Structure 1
Amino acid sequence: MFKLTPAAAEQVLKAAKQGGTEGMCLRLAAGRKPDGSIDYRMGFDDPTEDDIRIQCEGIEIVMAPEHLPLLDAATLDYVELEPGQFHFIFLNPKDPTYRPPTED
């Protein structure tokens, strides 16, 4: 099952408010690159009849069924990669570039 961390959920809500897309779903998509790694896409959208819907951390997440096989074990997080540089990251054991997080 796809998961969203509390930090990611907080940032998604902030982005929706700033972008005037409050109340819209967070749409996720994923596809394999030629090297086998996964390309992730996300944005705010309205759900369609065929979408898979997930509620996580107060966010409604939608994805087309064809994206579920690549996303079902993933977690979306929002982390500080460099001092003052925050980014959304996908933690996905299905991605060959995945490295489990380590505690500092």
Structure 2
Amino acid sequence: MFTLTPAAAARILDSAQQSDAEGMALRVAAKLEDDGQLSFGLGFDDEREQDLSYECEGLTVLIAPPSRELLEGMLLDFVEVEAGDWQFVFMQTQAPGSCPPSSCGGCGSRGGCSSGN
């Protein structure tokens, strides 16, 4: 399952407030590029029928079917990479198919931990 840190959630909630997107869900997407690298996308959106939807750190997270397997075990953080330079960072935190020790639902919650949900 994709998770995010309190720092990432706080920054996203602040961005939502500044852009009049308060209360909207956070859509997270991933794509495997031709060179084998993963690219990621974040944005505020409405839920669609096939979306995996769950609560994490005060946000509703939406993940479309094509991104589920790629985002499994990923953690989004908001970190200072250099003095004064803050960025969102995606990190692989677990082997795909295992459950994270998180407060974002875990196994048995809506969507569960498998990539087949």
Superposition TM-score tier, normalisation by shorter sequence: 0.7 to 0.9
Q: Which runs of 5+ in 1 are unaligned?
A: 95-104
Give the count of matched residue pairs: 94
Relative to the length of structure 1, the TM-score reads: 0.86
How far 1:92 sits from its partner (Å)?
2.3
For 1:84 and 1:43, how far apart are their aligned partners in 2? 23
Name the counterpart of 1:18.
18
Percent identical residues = 44
For 1:42 and 1:11, how far apart are their aligned partners in 2? 12
Name the counterpart of 1:97.
none
For 2:37 and 2:80, how far apart are their aligned partners in 1? 22
Question: What is the SS of the residue equivalent to 2:86?
Answer: strand
Q: Which amino acid aligns with 1:24?
A: M
The equivalences for 1:1-104 within 5 A come to 1-92=1-92
Where in structure 1 do 4 or more consecutive aligned residues deviate above 3 Å?
Answer: none
Question: What is the SS of the residue equivalent to 2:36?
Answer: coil
Q: Which amino acid aligns with 2:3?
A: K
